[in-house]
């Protein structure tokens, strides 16, 4: 899309609705920022700071080690209801694992959530990759290709229930049978709330291109962004659609670059190696979303793209991601509440001066 037609950079926060989010390290300045009260305060601060959306991770058990990484977590449909009720303008997403939710139930909950937020809710659809999590429910992971076939059916059902006359939607597939599907209220957003997927396999990219509104991507470097973003967008164009891409940077800044790098080193020096190995092993078995990171790099934001330096350096790096094809960012912080407030005061004004955000 020509630069003159691009929408402003969208600023999002990868919320700490799970414990030790998102550094796989025992270095955690505020260990209990996973609580609802903390998440509510961060959400309200984000709204004041000029952020556009909030995004949770969905986990059903932790990854062991000293930290039991992500082991305590707030479920994201109920979390979103409370956060939407406590905010006024910011968009709030839920993350849904396809193997766990029936699509009609998810559609009903989504319609309710969009009314609670007066048209501010969105959904992240995850095919599922953790055999350990789903194994405790007696759910076996499907082969990778079949997983995305089922996810395709899941999204088609959501869209059908949200857009067709209530009581008229029918769907038959190997995974679901919907007869005279009825969801009321339907969402306030037309034609439906935004749908996100974070997969990067070939099957996932095609799914995003055909059915989703956002692709959340994790390039291993800023330089890898254009190829990844262009691929999603060109695939979408082949279906006469548009898809936007958001990256997942871990953002940390201090008065000097040296101080910022020292804080990064502190995180990596205290890597929870057991949890990091469990996280990496789970990904290699069941997901193609991230690869090529050492355990130490995984410790820093669980594989997020490091955006580190002074406030101006961080603003420059974020602006560069926009130039390279990212339409938004899903930011991870070390000290969530304080960093959210500081970001609004120290970095958002720089991004505005650079013409990146509205």
Q: Is the pLDDT of residue 2 over 70?
A: no
Domain range list for the chain: 3-353
Q: Is the pLDDT of residue 31 over 70?
A: yes
CATH class of 3-353: alpha beta
Q: Which stretches of 56-97 are assigned E, i.e. beta strand?
A: 91-97
Give the residue from 6, 5, 4, 56 showing the smallest Cα distance to 321.
6
Q: Is the pLDDT of residue 1 over 70?
A: no
Q: Is the pLDDT of residue 142 over 60?
A: yes
| 271 band by pLDDT with thresholds 50, 70 and 90 | very high
Read off the pLDDT of each residue in 295-320 and give the average, rounded to a whole number.
91
- Going by C-beta distance under 8 Å and a sequence separation of 6 or more, which residues neighbour residue 118? 188
What pLDDT was estimated at residue 283? 63
Tell me which of 165-174, 184-193, 197-206 is least confident. Answer: 197-206
CA angle 185, 186, 187 (to 5 degrees): 115
pLDDT (tens digit per residue) in 312-345: 999 999 999 999 999 999 999 999 999 999 999 9
Q: Is the pLDDT of residue 268 over 80?
A: yes
Alpha helix ranges (H) inside the chain:
36-49, 76-85, 103-116, 131-135, 144-163, 202-211, 225-238, 257-269, 273-286, 295-299, 311-323, 336-346, 348-353
Read off the pLDDT of each residue in 80-87 and give the average, rounded to a whole number.
98
Q: Is the pLDDT of residue 267 over 50?
A: yes
* CA–CA separation, 160 and 157 (whole Å): 5
What pLDDT was estimated at residue 89? 97
pLDDT (tens digit per residue) in 89-116: 999 999 999 999 999 999 999 999 999 9
- Going by C-beta distance under 8 Å and a sequence separation of 6 or more, which residues neighbour residue 305? 218, 219, 220, 221, 222, 247, 248, 249, 250
Q: Is the pLDDT of residue 307 over 70?
A: yes
Residue 355 to residues 4, 47, 181, 247, Cα–Cα distance (Å): 11, 20, 46, 19
Asked whether 17 and 62 are in contact (CB, 8 A), the reply is: no
DSSP labels, 219-264: -SSGGGHHHHHHHHHHHHHHTT---EEEE-EEEEE-SSHHHHHHHH
């Amino acid at each position: 899309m020509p630069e003159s037609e691009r929408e402003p950079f969208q600023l999002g926060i990868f919320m700490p609705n799970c414990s030790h989010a998102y550094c796989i390290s025992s270095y955690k300045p505020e260990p209990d920022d996973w609580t609802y009260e903390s998440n509510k305060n961060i959400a309200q601060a984000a709204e004041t700071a000029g952020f556009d959306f909030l995004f949770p991770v969905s986990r059903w058990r932790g990854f062991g080690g000293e930290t039991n990484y992500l082991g305590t977590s707030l479920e994201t449909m109920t979390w979103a209801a409370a956060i939407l009720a406590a905010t006024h303008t910011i968009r709030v997403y839920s993350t849904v694992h396809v193997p766990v939710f029936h699509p009609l139930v998810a559609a009903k909950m989504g319609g309710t959530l969009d009314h609670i937020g007066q048209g501010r809710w969105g959904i992240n659809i995850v095919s599922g990759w953790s055999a350990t999590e789903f194994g405790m429910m007696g759910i076996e992971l499907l082969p990778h290709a079949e997983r995305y076939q089922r996810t395709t059916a899941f999204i088609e059902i959501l869209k059908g229930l949200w857009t067709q006359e209530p009581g008229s939607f029918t769907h038959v597939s190997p995974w679901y049978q919907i007869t005279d599907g009825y969801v009321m209220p339907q969402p306030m957003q037309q034609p439906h709330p935004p749908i996100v997927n974070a997969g990067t396999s070939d099957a996932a990219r095609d799914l995003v291109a055909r059915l989703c509104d956002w692709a959340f991507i994790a390039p291993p470097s800023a330089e890898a962004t254009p190829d990844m973003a262009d691929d999603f967008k060109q695939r979408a164009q082949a279906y006469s659609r548009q898809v936007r891409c958001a990256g997942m940077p871990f953002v940390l800044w201090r008065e000097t670059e040296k101080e910022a790098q020292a804080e990064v080193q502190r995180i990596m020096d205290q890597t929870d190696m057991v949890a990091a190995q469990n996280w990496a092993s789970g990904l290699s078995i069941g997901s193609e979303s991230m690869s090529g990171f050492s355990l130490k790099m995984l410790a820093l934001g669980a594989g997020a793209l490091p955006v580190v330096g002074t406030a101006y350096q961080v603003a420059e790096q974020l602006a560069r991601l926009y130039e390279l094809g990212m339409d938004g960012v899903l930011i991870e912080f070390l000290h969530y509440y304080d960093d959210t407030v500081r970001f609004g005061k120290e970095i958002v004004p720089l991004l505005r001066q650079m013409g990146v955000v509205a």
